[in-house]
Amino acid sequence: MSGPNTNYDPVQVSALDEASVFDMRDAALAAINAAIDLAGLKEVRSSHVGDRSPLALANREIGALPPQARKDAGSRVGRARAAVAQAFEARQAVLEDEAQERMLLEERVDVTLPWDRHPMGARHPITMLSEKIADVFVGMGWEIAEGPLVEAEWLNFDALNLGPDHPARTMQDTFWVDPPEDHLVLRTHTSPVQARTMLTRKPPIYVACPGRVFRTDEYDATHSPVFHQVEGLVIDKGISMAHLRGALDHMLQALFGEGMRTRFRPSYFPFTEPSAEMDMVCFICHGSGQQDEGECRTCRGEGWIELGGCGIVNPRVLIACGVDPEVYSGFAFGFGIDRLLMFRHGVADMRDIFEGDIRFATPFGVEL
Amino acid sequence: MRAPLSWIKDYVALPDTLTIDELTDRLTALGLKLEAIHRADITGPLVVGRVLTMDPEPQKNGKTINWCTVDVGDANGTGEPQGIVCGAHNFKPGDLVVVILPGGVLPGDFVISARKTYGHVSAGMICSGRELGISDDHDGIIVLPTDAGVPGQDALPILGLDEEVIEFEINPDRAYAMSLRGVAREAALGFQVPFTDPALRDTPAGNGEGHPVSVEDPIGCPVFVTRSVTGFDPSAPTPTWMVRRLEQVGQRSISLAVDITNYVMFELGRPIHAYDADKLQGELVIRRAVGGESLKTLDGNVRALSEEDLVVTDASGIIGLGGVMGGESTEISDSTVNVLVEAAHWDATAMFRTGRRHKLTSEAGKRNERGVDPEICEAAADRVVELLVAHGGGSAGRGVTVVGQAPATAEIELEPALPQLISGMPISAEMTNAILQQVGCTTTSAGDRLKVWPPSWRPDLTDPYDLVEEVVRVVGYDDVPSVLPPAPAGLGLTQEQQWRRRLGRLLASTGHVEVISFPFVGTTDLDNLMLADDDPRRTTLRLANPLSSEEPLLATTLLPGLLKTAARNVSRGLEDLALFEIAQVAKGDRMGPTPILGVDQRPSEEELAGLTEAVPAQPLHAAVVLCGNEDRAGWWGSGRPANWSDGIEAMRMLADSLGLELEIAAADLAPWHPGRCAELRLAGEVVGHAGELHPRVCRNFGIPPRSVAAEIDASALEATAVAVPQAEVFSTYPVAKEDVALVVADSVTSAEVSSALREGAGPMCESIRLFDVYVGDQIEAGFKSLAFSLRFRAPDRTLTDAECAAARDSAVAVAVERLGARQRA
Ligand SMILES: [Zn+2]
């Protein structure tokens, strides 16, 4: 049976009276609000919020109170501590934000400083234009065929109806591997690839053959002994000149945009019969020949740009390459990639293509 | 081929309203491509003048000028003689000359005005052909024939300078168009108007009274016709109109007899040769030359003849290279009074070969080697005789020699639907037949086929497809519709083509710039690379006709081209370089002769295999050259010069992009630094090299010291590349890391240590990575410390510390045992 606490001495625990708790709380809140930075707030933490703060110490005294007084005092101190903790966290969040803002300001840099530690590389525009052209044909369902640069004379000439007396076979036009009796040449066109394709595949054949070719031309602003060509070959049933024109028109539209078209003129190539010279309408003046109230510089006022040769594959070629001309017909075309690059991209001097000055290729980047 | 419009109109009745642009557009569409329209670039007054006086006045500069007075009629407004200073001397008082008066403009915007010169006021100029832009003749001024006109008369029409001359580009198959007869025929075809054939004339038949001729080689010379003119006046001038027309077609006037043969050649397309009949000795014999024979031709060259050359001989020996060039001994001269005219048809192939062999190109040769109408020999000879007599006097000889007969053109069988099938245009059988007749063919129906005989002037028409071209060009090439061909679904780029693009993109994205070099090199380049005498890269193919005798070899390596390109950039002040090239090189091993196969049918598989095997191997190489800084210097600090490892890194990256791992080993190979050269291997095979270049190589090529190069056989990479990469199975259990530092002798490579560790580390070892190389005070001389970080992971559990330690110890143990490594404390 318990009696009243005769030892009860209100003075002994005066820290728990209402006024004292409020004072401690207010002092803590004032200190928190007075902290101007995180370092100051850290000091406030030990003096007013931590385990050794007056409120924390007062809290320990609660156990010394008579039971009837504990509840009151406990809730009083608890409320005060919660208010202080909440104010502390709020102040800390504010100060942290301020500190971060300050740091971000201080970390500002001069973003205009040049950053060119790693110079850009580039692929050669001839490579990229060849690929772009190849992609157009691949898009039409064709495949890309390739072959050797040093080629058998028979594949470069005879198989293509360029007989032993064809002018192109002279030393003036063709590079011959020594001794000439070995019958090896630097291919003068990519047509031997077409011959190889016909000799190794069954029709239907739809191939484009881009590649490097050689002729004994002088090296100047518009000629080079080494240059690049793309040729196309289609062998199928019922192929006509209309298909030839369709394929070329499509390619030109893919490279130069809508409205491109070709013009055919009769010509002569041993490989094809009928043969045609193909012109493309000038992509700058669209055929008018006029530009900025003067003569168009790209086509020199002609309205047309000479592109290359084409025609229906000569049946003699089909026979030599094992294709039955009674069943199949085909067309072929060829044009120079270097010239195309020159007028599509404004290259003035052909030698720039081969001299390897890095200022030539670099602006073209990695993909044309 | 140049064709004056007025000359064309002699044979074809073109509508008066037709403009020259309409005419040339139509002819271009028919296959005679317009090259240029030549018009006089002169504005008057350009007049005829008669030289009244000429006073030679020697000058201080050593020249003598002529102070002339020239009657120009009323053209100068006064009727007084015009005072003109002239530097030429090829004229005399009384001559008719061409005078441009002040106010006139000559080609090149050369405005003529009265000006003071050599102490006189020269009021105009007496003109040369060159000044008028009608010939290259600047040896003297133009002296007009005495009947050319009267003083003061407008000289433009006399010189033909008021006329338009059309220059065409003639395709090799259209030799007939290398004549006015041919051009006019095409114009008539194009506008469906009548054509008057200038070769259609009454000619006397061969009569056995002509000059004796024997043709021993009727294949080489199927037709040989001679006619003669006696009592010809060698001093007779060429009529002005003929001089003018010859000038218009680009032929300068030489002498009446020569001019007439040239004129007829341009008119009919048939080259003619004229002999001084008095210099001929007996019968003309046409045969092939025999070895050792020679001939001094008209151009003064003595030519050794081949057994393929066709020659004309008389009792004195060889007097001409048939159809190509005459000999000096029988040529027409200024004293020739008796002329023998030869019109012969020669085998085109023989003409081509002889022309090529003797490097002779002439207007006659160009026509003979492309194919001339064999049926017009008599007409052409007759025309020459007519003109000789008309302008040079004398009389036509009675004798007419005709040996041989024009070969008939072969019949062609044509399926009438073929033009429609091949062109994709609606062309009926009737249209085909009609057009073939318009171009001169004779046709007759034979069942469902058309039998076609091409005309004599079209030796190029031999196949049905040749006839298709004729039909389609008349219908109109440009009317061919545009229809996409029905390609079946394709397979896209091949794996190799995709890989090649990948290699290029990778190098470019990592800072390398692609270049394209000529594949021509010289021995000097190989010497500059310091290649050993037995280096396989010295086994090259050699060109029989290189562009430069300095570079006759085909490159077996891309490095010479890249190094020279690098030097060019360096010399232009571009010193930080990373260049690359991806290209085929040609192996030089002789494969023996490549066969020339038949073309009448597909060669057999064996023949084809023999053919393709004889073509030398041409693997694709990829190479880089690095000079200067790899990373630039800047405000962030100093740059990082490219070093040997960057070359290896580039090659490693290429291999990596194809799913391949290169094995790297030390090597000593030119052109690299002997201690900084890596051999790149794939499955034990050497596929390339990389590293720092030998300092002497850098000096040889003129690039900075310590430049870097690498070259790899990309074809070999492609041959083993992984086409279809498979997903890895990876463990999600924690990784355990162990670092080891091993001290090894300098001669031991990191690759050797790494592979020893790899071998000993067991299956749980996920990766081994070298992270530090130390050489210095803490290690004895001749040794180095290599620090590796090893990562272990099990597929099915978390590894214990003990397991990891055991694996690491086992790895170290292999390195210790194999390479004498010791763990660094
Ligand atoms: Zn244009």
Q: What residue spans define the domains of chain B?
A: 2-39+165-191, 46-144, 213-403, 412-479, 495-720, 736-823
Angle at B341 between CA B336 and CA B347, to 5 degrees: 135
pLDDT for residue A223 is more than 90 = yes
CB contact under 8 A, A246 and B484: yes
Q: Can you tell me the mean pLDDT for B758-772?
A: 94
Partner-chain residue, chosen from B172, B473, B618, that has the shortest CB–CB distance to A266 = B473
Instruction: Identify the residue with better confidence: A69 or B357.
Output: B357
Minimal CA–CA distance to A21: which of A58, A64, A51, A66?
A58
CATH topology of domain B495-720: BirA Bifunctional Protein; domain 2 (3.30.930)
Percent of chain B predicted with pLDDT > 70: 99
Report chain B's terminal Cα–Cα distance, integer Å: 92
pLDDT for residue A201 is more than 90 = yes
Class of domain B46-144: mainly beta
Partner-chain residue, chosen from B171, B465, B473, that has the shortest CB–CB distance to A312 = B465
Nearest residue of B to residue A147, measured between CA atoms: B618
CB contact under 8 A, A355 and B568: yes
CATH topology of domain B736-823: Alpha-Beta Plaits (3.30.70)
Report yes or no: B584 and B618 within 8 Å, Cβ to Cβ: yes
Token pair for B369: 């080697």
Interface with chain B: mutation pick from A130, A245, A253, highest number of B CBs within 10 Å = A245
Confidence of residue B115 (pLDDT cuts 50, 70, 90): confident
Instruction: Identify the residue with better confidence: A59 or A280.
Output: A280
Q: Which long-range contacts (CB under 8 A, 24 or more apart) does B637-645 make?
A: B639/A117, B639/B576, B641/B706, B642/B578, B642/B706, B642/B707, B642/B708, B643/B692, B643/B706, B643/B708, B644/B673, B644/B676, B644/B677, B644/B678, B644/B690, B644/B691, B644/B692, B644/B708
Q: How far apart are alpha carbons B612 and B609 in whole angstroms?
A: 5
Lowest-pLDDT range of A63-67, A279-283, B178-182: A63-67
Chain B partners of A229 at a C-beta cutoff of 8 Å?
none
Greatest pairwise CA separation for chain A in angstroms: 139
Confidence of residue B60 (pLDDT cuts 50, 70, 90): confident
pLDDT for residue B735 is more than 90 = yes
pLDDT of residue A3: 46
Q: Can you tell me the mean pLDDT for B371-380?
A: 96
Q: Can you tell me the mean pLDDT for B306-332?
A: 91
Average pLDDT, chain B: 93
CATH topology of domain B213-403: Phenylalanyl-tRNA Synthetase; Chain B, domain 3 (3.50.40)
Q: How far apart are alpha carbons B309 and B312 in whole angstroms?
A: 10
pLDDT of residue A11: 45
pLDDT of residue A7: 52
Chain A partners of B583 at a C-beta cutoff of 8 Å?
212
Token pair for B676: 């900084």
Partner-chain residue, chosen from B173, B484, B565, that has the shortest CB–CB distance to A250 = B484
CB environment A69-103: b (16+ within 10 A), e (fewer)? beeebeebbeebbeebeebbeebbeebeeeeeeee
Confidence of residue B137 (pLDDT cuts 50, 70, 90): low
Lowest-pLDDT range of A69-73, A177-181, A257-261, B507-511: A69-73
pLDDT of residue B801: 93
Confidence of residue B162 (pLDDT cuts 50, 70, 90): confident
How many beta-carbon pairs below 8 A join chains A and B?
Answer: 307
Chain B partners of A117 at a C-beta cutoff of 8 Å?
631-632, 634, 636, 639
pLDDT for residue A112 is more than 60 = yes
pLDDT tens digits along B246-260: 988 988 889 999 999
Lowest-pLDDT range of A275-279, B85-89, B614-618, B689-693: B85-89
Lowest-pLDDT range of A156-165, A219-228, B292-301, B392-401: B292-301
3-state secondary structure of B166: strand
For residue B554, CA distances in Å to A176, B630, B666, B683 come to: 11, 31, 29, 29
Minimal CA–CA distance to A322: which of A330, A333, A334?
A330
pLDDT for residue A173 is more than 60 = yes
Nearest residue of B to residue A265, measured between CA atoms: B29
Q: Can you tell me the mean pLDDT for A124-152?
A: 97
Minimal CA–CA distance to B420: which of B483, B486, B472, B464?
B472
CATH 3.30.56.10 for domain B2-39+165-191, yes or no, is yes
Lowest-pLDDT range of B21-30, B629-638, B654-663, B695-704: B629-638
Percent of chain A predicted with pLDDT > 90: 63
Q: Can you tell me the mean pLDDT for B380-388?
A: 97
Could you count the other beta carbons within 10 Å of the beta carbon of residue B534? 7
Nearest residue of B to residue A182, measured between CA atoms: B593
pLDDT of residue A115: 82
Q: Can you tell me the mean pLDDT for B475-484?
A: 95
Report yes or no: B46 and B156 within 8 Å, Cβ to Cβ: yes
Q: What is the ipTM of this complex?
A: 0.85
Strands B64-71 and B105-106: unpaired
pLDDT for residue B821 is more than 60 = yes
CB contact under 8 A, A322 and B602: yes
Selected residues 457-516 of chain B with any CB under 8 Å from a CB in chain A: 463-466, 468-469, 472-473, 477-478, 480-494, 497, 501, 504-505, 507-516
pLDDT of residue B324: 87
Partner-chain residue, chosen from A124, A178, A225, that has the shortest CB–CB distance to B516 = A124
Q: Can you tell me the mean pLDDT for A160-186?
A: 87
Instruction: Identify the residue with better confidence: A165 or A132.
Output: A132
pLDDT of residue B281: 95
pLDDT for residue B386 is more than 80 = yes
Residues 6+ apart with CB under 8 A from B719: none
Q: How far apart are alpha carbons A221 and A218 in whole angstroms?
A: 10
pLDDT for residue A171 is more than 80 = no
Could you count the other beta carbons within 10 Å of the beta carbon of residue B479? 12
CB contact under 8 A, B600 and A319: yes
Topology agreement, domain B2-39+165-191 and domain B412-479: yes
Lowest-pLDDT range of B110-114, B212-216, B501-505: B110-114
The alpha-carbon gap from B121 to the nearest alpha carbon of chain A, in Å, equals: 41
Percent of chain B predicted with pLDDT > 90: 77
Q: How far apart are alpha carbons A340 and B687 in whole angstroms?
A: 36
Q: Can you tell me the mean pLDDT for B808-813?
A: 96
Report chain A's terminal Cα–Cα distance, integer Å: 101
**Architecture label for domain B412-479:** 2-Layer Sandwich (3.30)
CB contact under 8 A, B487 and A140: yes
Instruction: Identify the residue with better confidence: A358 or B75.
Output: A358
Confidence of residue A1 (pLDDT cuts 50, 70, 90): very low
Chain B partners of A182 at a C-beta cutoff of 8 Å?
590, 592-594
Confidence of residue A14 (pLDDT cuts 50, 70, 90): low
Partner-chain residue, chosen from B171, B478, B511, that has the shortest CB–CB distance to A118 = B511
Report yes or no: B681 and B720 within 8 Å, Cβ to Cβ: no
CB contact under 8 A, A127 and B504: yes
| Alpha-carbon torsion angle B146, B150, B151, B156, nearest 10 | -90
Q: What is the DSSP string of B302-354?
A: EEE--TT-EEEEETTEEEEETTTEEBSTT---TT--SEEEEEEE--HHHHHHH
Selected residues 276-315 of chain A with any CB under 8 Å from a CB in chain B: 276-277, 312, 314-315
Q: Can you tell me the mean pLDDT for A234-256?
A: 96
Selected residues 70-89 of chain A with any CB under 8 Å from a CB in chain B: none
pLDDT of residue A4: 46
pLDDT tens digits along B537-589: 999 999 999 999 999 999 999 999 999 999 999 999 999 999 999 999 999 98
pLDDT for residue B35 is more than 80 = yes
Chain B partners of A362 at a C-beta cutoff of 8 Å?
513
pLDDT of residue B299: 83
Distance B232 CA to ligand 1 centre (A): 57
